[in-house]
Chains A and B, each alone.
Chain A
Amino acid sequence: MSIGEALAAFNASYPDAGGTASFVGKVRSDNDVKALELTHYEPLTLPGMEELAQAASEKFGLAGVLAWHRVGVMTPGQPIVLVAAAAAHRREAFDAVDFLMDHLKSASWFWKRERRGDGWHWIEPRDQDRRDLARWK
């Protein structure tokens, strides 16, 4: 299923919601990045994402929430993550997507490394990512 198809299906699932907001994160091509690899630990990663979606749903009173995250090797321009939130009003939908992304970036069970011209490099959350996450505490 493509991102467009997923969003169309998601949107159609909540006909009574006032609006849907979404975010697609893609592999950037800066810093000479040739490829990005995401790994996970399934016994923690999936339950963690389900808890996160539930938390977002309760915090923002959502009608529905969608959270997809790929694992494996991806190349620049390819999507890594898709989140969407359906809510009565736009602010809740925007905020929920922001909340979901901040937690997926630096508080979910994924590990990321990128391949540059000189080989693979593990990526850790930036200070900005940690500050973004701290906004919700």
Chain B
Amino acid sequence: MSVRILFLGPLRDLAGQDDMQVEGTLDWDRLLQTVSPLVAAQLREERVNIACKGRVLADKTALLAEDGDEVALLPPVSGG
């Protein structure tokens, strides 16, 4: 088992991949070190959200994902 990091919308292009897997526990600091510097810069922006286990985090710096969890990186939305 591992933590799956999912890149949504424009972050997928920036990351150059749909998703990646990391072993063990994933917190905010480790997430920033794991993704590319370009993606990390986006994550630090207020308008980018993070969901863990299907819930959007009120405070993304409090991220704590365990083995088997899915972490979704959510850039600004646009629908309709």
Contacts and interface: CB of A to CB of B under 8 A. Distances in A.
B56 interface: yes
Q: How many B residues touch the partner, as a band?
A: 10 to 19
B47 to A, nearest CB: 9
Interface string A41-54: 10110010000000
Contact of B78 (A43, A101, A125): A125
Contacts, number: 65
Given A41-B51, A44-B51, A80 B80 contact: yes
Contact of A111 (B10, B56, B70): B10
B58 interface: no
Nearest to B53: A43
Interface stretch (A5-13, A85-93, A102-110): A102-110
A123 interface: yes
Contacts of B8: 39, 41, 111
Given A41-B51, A43-B51, A44-B56, A105 B80 contact: yes
Interface string B42-58: 00000000010010100
A124 interface: yes
B56 A81 contact: no
Contact of B76 (A69, A113, A124): A124
Interface of B: 6, 8-10, 13, 51, 54, 56, 70, 72, 74-80
